[in-house]
A and B are shown apart, each in its own frame.
Chain A
Amino acid sequence: MAQLRQRYVLTQSQKMMVFILSMSLYGLSNMITELIPSVRLGPIELSVEYFAFIPLTLCILFHPFYAAVGAALGEVIFGEIMLGQFGGLGELEKFIAFSLAMFIAGTLVNDPKNRRQVGVAAMTGVIIHQFISCTVDIAKVWIGVEEFEAVPGLAQSVVVVEGVAFLNDVLFSGILFALLPTLYLVPRLYGKIEPLLGMKPRNNKMKYSLGEIIAPRLIVVSIILALLAAVAEFLSESDMALMEWDADYLNSIGGWFVWVSIGAAAVVACLTIWVLVRRGKRSRTAGTGI
């Protein structure tokens, strides 16, 4: 048993192979889906959101962590930067949501030949990803529109629009472009593609060493991200409060409030730079790859 567990420890270059494979394949597919036009039937948009079957297949066949991170990076590079649609910090959210969903889907499968397991994992992955992005989209409008609740009909309409999009993506893209192709591809590729990368196929008794996946690095990064999110949340709350307060007193007090606003922006900027620098140092000293 101990030997079986040992077997799936990948070498540095094997990790790199899984990473590059997943990145280029999913990136390419992303580019193709960007070019397919969407058909809109009233409120239901029948569009090919993404070819989720590629990262799902790779996460099931190979080590899910490297495949998931590679796919998410491929989306950012091919689908966003190269097409000139890079959203900057907004991409961070997509990256995290997508790699998390695909990673969970990959870990759910023990035996790639078991079709039921593969199907359940594929749908779970799509649902998790769509749920996260739907929630984030609602939150975006919430932050972006002042007095969100005060505008009649806006809160309901955002929820309805996002809910319809969620159902559409899960039922249409999820079944046609995640479930069916994954069920087709995984059993066919299992045992054929691994030798091309110089690896053994995943064993159904195999377990990931969770300690390796949930490395300190991952924990640190997620804590930092959670903190950043909390800070952003807090800032937005306090900013809104300041704005209300500002409307009454601005005329009498004068322009000093401006500096509070500038200061808040500066704090956000400095904090982000600090985090990036720290992350850079950490990766230099620790030197453990992704």
Chain B
Amino acid sequence: MEYVRKLMDRVSVEGVKIELLNTAYGNGDTFFARLDPRTLFLWYLYFGIAPWFIHNEVLLLGMFLFMVVTTILSRVSPLIILILCLGLMSQVGYLFIVSWLFSGGGEAILPLLKLTMKLSVISMASITAFCSMDPERLSDGLLRIGVPKQVSFGIAYGYRMLPSLVEEYHHIFLSFRLRGVAPQRHGMLYWRSIVYFLKIAVLSFYPLILSIAKRTRTTVEALEAKGFSYAYHSPEVKRIKLSYMRFTMRDAVFLVVSGLYVMMLYVLAAQISI
């Protein structure tokens, strides 16, 4: 349990906030961050869907290597990579153990390995595409391809409000702890403390719901004062807002290189058969 306490010390609210802002705004100068959002969407559309329907090892391995390169280029934070690896390993490893219990044996390794490879290609593609865009570009890009305005508004709002919401929740949580009585003994496996904290975590939402409701009303009134609903219906506003987006040589080079690479893989996969 010493380990848990150390972990909890490290995962402080401040640390989480800083890490979040880093993820959002930390990598604005990478190659991918300067591409047009639409290019990245198009690119993701292939690498996010195609791997599901590919069963060729050479092809998958080639894509995997390509994705590793793009993920390194997009300079995402190590925390995200760690979460990704943990998720992949726990899901597939667990599946392997259970299939072993069903007398699966060694035959299950290869298909599961392939599944892992597919999943990692897809998730690395999405990390490359979505973590390297800062929120404004992402929301504008989504708006440009016809996603409802609420979504793009939600992204902008989320990034703006989240730090203060987390802080408010943290304050309420601390005041519950201050006024409440913590359990005398931790109990077996700390269960008393865990139950106590979870209960506070749930109860803290009651004041938070009311205060966010008030805050929401203020937000919407401010939006209406600026003519949000009117702008929402007007295509002219959208056109002006998005007029800065254009494809450049960079986008073309990126798409062509990716396309050539994939084509080369296909040819290679046709040559080598395992």
A interface residues (Cβ-Cβ under 8 A, vs B): 12-13, 16-17, 19-21, 23-25, 27-29, 31-32, 35-37, 39, 43, 48, 51, 53-54, 57, 73-74, 77-78, 81-90, 141, 143-147, 151-154, 156-158, 160-161, 176-177, 181, 185, 188-189, 192-193, 196-198, 235-236, 239-240, 243, 247, 250-251, 254-255, 257-258, 261-262, 264-265, 268-269, 272-273, 276-281, 283-284, 287, 289-290
Contact = CB atoms under 8 A, between A and B. Distances in A.
Given A13-B220, A161-B98, A283-B148, A145 B270 contact: no
Contacts of B263: 262
Interface stretch (B29-37, B124-132, B179-187, B245-253): B124-132
Contacts, number: 262
B201 interface: yes
Given A78-B158, A160-B98, A89 B48 contact: yes
Interface size class of B (residues with CB under 8 A): 35 or more
B213 A269 contact: no
A83 B102 contact: no
Contacts of B145: 276-277, 280
A197 B202 contact: no
Contacts of B114: 144-146
Contact of A48 (B54, B55, B198): B198
Contacts of A86: 126-127, 130-131
| Interface of chain B, main secondary structure | helix
Given A51-B202, A73-B154, A193-B209, 11 more contacts: A28-B208, A43-B98, A84-B80, A87-B122, A144-B52, A151-B104, A153-B108, A157-B99, A157-B101, A236-B53, A258-B270
Contacts of A13: 220-221, 223-224, 229
B103 interface: yes
B50 interface: yes
B137 interface: no
Contacts of A35: 11, 16
20 contacts: A17-B217, A20-B154, A25-B208, A28-B162, A37-B4, A73-B154, A88-B129, A144-B114, A145-B115, A153-B99, A153-B100, A154-B112, A157-B95, A185-B206, A188-B206, A193-B210, A198-B217, A255-B267, A265-B49, A265-B50
B155 A154 contact: no
Contacts of B202: 51, 53, 177, 181
B158 A82 contact: yes
Given A20-B219, A51-B202, A151-B104, A290 B210 contact: no
Contact of A268 (B49, B98, B229, B262): B49
B216 A17 contact: yes
B6 interface: no
A143 B216 contact: no
Interface of B: 4, 7, 11, 16, 20, 23-24, 42, 44-46, 48-50, 52-55, 76-77, 79-80, 83-84, 94-95, 98-105, 107-108, 111-112, 114-115, 118-119, 122-123, 125-127, 129-131, 138, 145-148, 150-151, 154-155, 157-159, 161-162, 165-166, 169, 189, 194, 198, 201-202, 205-206, 208-210, 212-214, 216-217, 219-221, 223-224, 228-229, 232-233, 235, 238, 262-263, 266-267, 269-271, 273
Contacts of B216: 17, 20-21, 24, 197
A280 B112 CA distance: 39
B95 A25 contact: no
B270 A277 contact: no
A213 B267 CA distance: 50
B151 A151 contact: no
A197 B217 contact: yes
Given A13-B229, A84-B23, A157-B98, A23 B44 contact: no
